Amino acid sequence: MEYNTGRSKLTIPEYGRNVQQMALHLLEIKDRKDRNRAAQTVIQTMTQVHPYAKDSEELRRKLWDHLYIITSYKLDVDGPYPKPEHGLLESKPKMLKYPSSRIKFKHYGKIAEGLIKKAQEYKDGAEKDALVESIAAVMKKSYMVWNQSSVNDNIIVNDLGELSGGKLQLKDTTKLSTIQVSLAPKPSNNFSRNNKNKKKGNKKKKYRNGGF
């Protein structure tokens, strides 16, 4: 009996050993026409691994790439797509770089700073004043979500001035005072106490009824 431990390693395990043997057998077919027909048969067999995938250009390209990879890029056929570069399977994606810019007030976030920078480009007028009011409202909501409590409007006004280098000023603070944020209520101690008492009561009933 032959065990898998004694066999060659599967290049792409999802297709199984039979598909890999069929793919490697293509390298032994000398006649090019016969090899092309046999390659099409192998591709049709490989599609059975993806029975729920739609027959798309992307799927067909993927199957042919995998066929070349299984044969160690040695397969020479007239396929519908060019042979992929050697080492495609082993290649690793490039590491993504983390943002290096620092946020002065993290509770306001990067978006608020971007809005403040954009607002400084506007000319003085009603449009700029409306934009500054909207930015201040966003800042207050962010602050209250982060702090889980109310906030003095003067803090928002001062932070807005500091982040803008003194270039933006909130002229009407009345709208800012009307902003409210619905915060998730914290579980009360009474709720925890009731749960504990309920569990104790259930245990007592169980013991009275002869339970263990």
What pLDDT digit, counting tens, does each position of 73-107 carry? 999 999 999 988 877 666 777 888 876 777 788 88
Which residue bears the tokens 């570069």? Answer: 85
Q: What is the mean pLDDT of the chain?
A: 81
| Two tokens, residue 203 | 């245990």
- Is 156 within 8 Å of 140 (Cβ atoms)? yes
pLDDT classification of 202: cutoffs 50, 70, 90: low
- Tell me what percent of the residues of the chain surpass a pLDDT of 90: 33
pLDDT classification of 207: cutoffs 50, 70, 90: very low
CA separation (Å) from 151 to 59, 114, 130, 140, 180? 55, 22, 21, 7, 10
3-state secondary structure of 193: helix
Closest CA to 137 of 179, 199, 168: 179
pLDDT at 201 over 60: no
Q: Which residue has the higher pLDDT, 193 or 79?
A: 79
pLDDT classification of 38: cutoffs 50, 70, 90: very high
pLDDT at 115 over 80: yes
pLDDT classification of 212: cutoffs 50, 70, 90: very low
What per-residue confidence (pLDDT) applies to 23? 94
Q: Which residue has the higher pLDDT, 208 or 172?
A: 172
Min mean pLDDT across 90-99, 109-118, 132-141, 161-170 is at 90-99
3-state secondary structure 100-159: CCCCCCCCCHHHHHHHHHHHCCCCCCHHHHHHHHHHHHHHHHHHHHHHCCCCCHHHHHHH
> What's at 84, amino acid-wise?
P
* Calpha distance 130→136 (Å, rounded): 10
Whole-prediction pTM: 0.46
pLDDT at 121 over 80: yes
Which residue bears the tokens 């065990």? Answer: 3
* Calpha distance 40→159 (Å, rounded): 67
Give the pLDDT confidence of 3-26 residue by residue, as tens digits: 666 677 888 999 999 999 999 999
* Calpha distance 188→74 (Å, rounded): 69
